Structure 1
Amino acid sequence: MRFVVCGEALIDLMPEEMISPAESRWIARSGGGPFNTATALAKLGLDTRFLGRLSTDTFGRQLRSHLEGAGVDLSIAVPTEDPTSLAVVSLDTQGRASYHFHFAGTSAFNWAPGELPDLDADDWLHFGSIGAIIAPGARQVLDFVRRTDAGVSFDLNVRPSTLPDRAEYFGLISDLLTAVGKNGGIAKASDEDIAWLVDDDSDPLGYAEGWAAEYGLSMFIVTLGPDGVVAVKPDGRRIQVPGRRVDVVDTVGAGDTFMAGFLSAYAEDPTDVEAALARGVAAAAIVCTRKGAQPPTAAEVDALLV
C-alpha cells in the first residue's frame, strides 16, 4: 500500500535558552502534523509520499532534506516560492506543547487548483491538522478529500489559537468528517481536542461514538494522553489499549507518531484494531522520550512491544 500524507510542513521554533532579559536562543526544528506522520511512516518502513507545499527558502530546503533523509518520496510535493510557515512552540512544566502560528501568505496554506492529484483506490490518504482548516487552502483540501477514491484517515489535531471560534471550527471539521465518512474512513482526535470543540470535557468517547455513527466512519480513535487510546465503532463497541509509562521529555509529535504506528499495523491487518492501537501507543511513547518529533524505527517499536 502507498501512503500519501497531505498537509503542512513548517518550522517549529523551540526555546533552548534564555541568555538575558533581552535575548534568547531558539532552535528551528522541522515539523507540522502531517510532516511528522509522513516522516514516522517512512521510518517505520512504509512506502510514503508527502503531499505538501515546500518553499524554496532556507527553511523549505531544511524540510525537504529532513523528509528525504527519512526516506519519504517527494515526487508529488509542490515546490513554491511562498515563505515557509512557522510555529512558535511553548512547553509547560510537564513537557506538553502549545503552539502559536505565523502562516498568512506562507507555503503550507496556499493550495491552488490543480496542485492536488487524483489518487488510486489502492492508496491510503492521511491528512489533517491546521492545513485542512486554514484558508485559502482548506477549500482545496476539502474538495480533494471529497473526490478521492483512496482509503482515508483524518487527524483533527485541533489548534484553537489558529481559529478561536468553536462553532466555525467545528463547522469546518464537520464538512471534513462528512467527506471522510463517504468511504467509511477513520478519524482521530485527542480527548482535549474533542473537549474544546464541544466545550464539554465530560464524555469525549460519547461524542466520538455519535460522530462515528453520524458521519459514517468505520471508527473514531480518541487518544487519552498517558491513559492510552480508545477506538470507538459506530455501533458503540470500544477497543481500548492502555498507555505506556515513560520518562517524558516532551510530547511534540506524539499524536502524529501514534497515527503512523497505528496505520503501519492497520494496513497489514485491518481486522486486528487492538494490535494496531498498541503499535501506535508504542511508537508515541518512544517519541515522548526524545526532544522534538523524532519518530522511532520499526525495530525500536518491535523491541518495545516484546
Structure 2
Amino acid sequence: MRFVVCGEALIDLMPEGGGTPAESPWVARSGGGPLNSAAALARLGKDTHFLGRLSSDAFGVQLRSHLEAAGVSLDLAVATDDATSVAVVSLDDQGKASYAFHFHGTSNFNWHADEFPTLGGDDWLHFGSIGAVIGAGAKNVLDFVSRTDAAVSFDINVRPSTLPDRAEYFSRVSDLMAAVGRGGGIVKASDEDIAWLVDDDSDPLGYAEGWAAEYGLALFLVTLGPDGAAAVWPDGRRAQVPGHRVEVVDTVGAGDTFMAGFLSAYTVNPRDVEAALRRGAGAAALVCTREGAQPPTAEELDAFLG
C-alpha cells in the first residue's frame, strides 16, 4: 500500500534556553503535523509520499532534506516560491508544547485545485491539521478529499489560535468529517481537541461515538495523553489501550507519530484495532522521550513494545 500524506510542512522555532535580554537562542526544526506523520510512516518502513507545498526558500530546502532523510518520496510534492510557514513553540514545565503561528501568505495555505493528484483505491490518503481548515486553499483540500478514491484518514489536530471561533472551526471540521465519512474513513482527535471544539471536557469518547455515527466513519480514534488511546465504532463498541510511563522531554509530534504507528498496523490487519492502538501509543511514547519530532524506526518500536 502507498501512503500519501497531505498537509503542511513548516518550521518549528524552539527555544534553546539562556540568552540575554537583547538576544535569545532558538533552533529551527522541521515540523508540521502531516510532515511528522509522513516521516514517522517512512521510518516505520512504509511506502510514503508527501503531498505538500514546499517553498524554494532556505527553510523549504531544509524541509525537503528532512523528508528525504526519513525515506519519504517527494514525487507528489508541489514546489512553490511562497515563503515557508513558521510556528514559534513554547514548552511548559512538563514539556507540553503550545504554538504561535506565522502563516499569512505562506506556502501551506495557498493550495490550487490543479495541484492535487488522482489517487486510486490502493492508496491510503492521510491528511489534516491546519492547512485543511484555514487559508485560501482549504476549500480545495476539502474538494480533493471529497472526490478521492483512496482510503482516507483525517487528523483534526486543533490549533485554536489560528481560528479562535469555536463554531466556525467546528463547522469546517464537520465538512471534512463528512467528506471522510462518505468513503467510510477514519478520523482522529485528541481528548483536548474534542474538549475545545465542543467547549466540554466531560466525555470525549461520547462525542467521538456520536460523530462516528453521524458522519458514517469506520472508526473515530481519540488520543488520551499519558492515559493512552481509544477507538470508537459508530455502533458504540470501544477499544482502549493504556499509555506508557516515560520521561517526557517534550510532546512535539506525539499525536502525529501515534497516527503513523496506528496506520502502520491497521492497514496490515484492520480487524485487530487494539494491536494498532498499542503500536500507535508506543510510537507516541517514544517520540516524547526525544527533543522535537524524532519518530522511531520499526526496530526501535518493536524493541520498546517487547
Query: TM-score of the superposition, structure 1-length normalised?
Result: 0.99
Unpaired segments of 5 or more residues in structure 2?
none
Provide the aligned C-alpha RMSD in A: 0.5
- Residue 187 of structure 1 is matched in structure 2 by 187
Structure 1 residue 285: Cα displacement? 0.5
2:161 is matched by which residue type in structure 1? Answer: S
Structure 1 residue 140: Cα displacement? 0.7
- Residue 4 of structure 1 is matched in structure 2 by 4
- Residue 103 of structure 2 is matched in structure 1 by 103
Structure 1 residue 233: Cα displacement? 0.5
- Residue 254 of structure 2 is matched in structure 1 by 254
1:179 is matched by which residue type in structure 2? Answer: A
- Residue 118 of structure 1 is matched in structure 2 by 118
Unpaired segments of 5 or more residues in structure 1?
none
2:278 is matched by which residue type in structure 1? Answer: A
- Residue 48 of structure 2 is matched in structure 1 by 48
Deviations 1:210-235 (A, max 9, x none): 00000000110010000000100000
Structure 1 residue 196: Cα displacement? 0.2
Secondary structure, in 3 states, of the residue corresponding to 1:261?
A: helix
Query: TM-score of the superposition, structure 2-length normalised?
Result: 0.99
> 2-side partners of 1:113 and 1:240: how far apart?
39
1:184 is matched by which residue type in structure 2? Answer: G
> 2-side partners of 1:84 and 1:32: how far apart?
11
Structure 1 residue 263: Cα displacement? 0.3
Structure 1 residue 135: Cα displacement? 1.6
- Residue 153 of structure 1 is matched in structure 2 by 153
Question: Which structure 2 residues correspond to residues 272-287 of structure 1 after superposition, within 5 A?
Answer: 272-287=272-287
Secondary structure, in 3 states, of the residue corresponding to 2:176?
A: helix
> 1-side partners of 2:7 and 2:41: how far apart?
15
4+ runs of 1 displaced by more than 6 Å? none
- Residue 207 of structure 1 is matched in structure 2 by 207
Secondary structure, in 3 states, of the residue corresponding to 1:20?
A: coil
> 2-side partners of 1:116 and 1:159: how far apart?
24
Structure 1 residue 113: Cα displacement? 1.9
> 2-side partners of 1:251 and 1:49: how far apart?
24
Aligned sequence identity (%):
76
Structure 1 residue 256: Cα displacement? 0.2
Question: Which structure 2 residues correspond to residues 1-306 of structure 1 after superposition, within 5 A?
Answer: 1-306=1-306
Structure 1 residue 18: Cα displacement? 3.1
> 2-side partners of 1:91 and 1:19: how far apart?
17
> 1-side partners of 2:65 and 2:23: how far apart?
29
